[in-house]
Each structure stands twice: as structure tokens, then as C-alpha cells.
């Protein structure tokens, strides 16, 4: 294998690693947001976990956080700005949790 092939493979591996890490962080953020919203809705235990799963699934319907944002705003009846602020805060928490694992 030439030096260029090794370098290309190295960049591809780093990209794949970074994308996987970003996916896990985003999924964790969405789960934490779902648990936060569930608490606001008065849910606990399995009901809170199920709701958090619905929030995570909302990201599949509209990737990029739009589906998650829409769902939580509609369910809580709060402003987009409030939910976006919580999403930003929880992204930091999720990043710290995932990178420490």
C-alpha cells in the first residue's frame, strides 16, 4: 500500500469514527431531551422512557433536530426558543457523557 492509500484510509477511518460519535451524541441528546420533556409532562418510570424513545424516533422522521423540536414543542406547548436552549444545554451534557464512556 502506498503512502497516499494509507493516508486516504486514515482520513476515511477518522471520518467514520467522527460521524459515529456525532450520531451517538445526538441520539443521547435526544434521549435526555425526551426525559426532560417527560418530567415536564408528569411522566416517570417506563412512561418517561417510552416518551424519550418517541422523541429519539422523531429525529428519524425529520433529521437534523427538526422532528425532535416539533414534537417537544407541540407536546409541551412551549416556545421553540425554550426547547432549542434546552437542546443546546443537553448537547453539551450528551457530549461529555459519550466521550467519557
| Helix, strand, coil percentages, rounded to 5, for the chain | 85, 0, 15
The burial class, CB within 10 Å (0-12 / 13-18 / 19+), for 68 is buried
What's the pLDDT at 12? 86
Percent of the chain with pLDDT over 70: 99
Each residue's pLDDT tens digit, 24-60: 999 999 999 999 999 999 999 999 999 999 999 999 8
- Domain segments of the chain: what residues? 3-100
Amino acid at each position: 500500500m502506498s503512502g497516499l492509500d494509507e493516508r486516504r484510509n486514515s482520513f476515511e477511518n477518522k471520518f467514520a469514527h467522527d460521524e459515529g460519535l456525532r450520531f451517538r451524541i445526538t441520539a443521547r441528546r435526544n434521549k435526555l431531551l425526551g426525559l426532560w420533556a417527560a418530567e415536564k409532562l408528569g411522566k416517570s418510570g417506563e412512561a418517561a422512557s417510552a416518551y424519550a424513545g418517541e422523541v429519539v424516533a422523531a429525529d428519524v422522521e425529520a433529521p437534523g433536530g427538526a422532528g425532535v423540536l416539533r414534537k417537544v414543542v407541540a407536546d409541551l406547548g412551549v416556545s421553540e426558543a425554550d426547547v432549542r436552549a434546552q437542546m443546546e444545554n443537553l448537547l453539551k451534557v450528551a457530549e461529555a457523557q459519550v466521550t467519557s464512556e
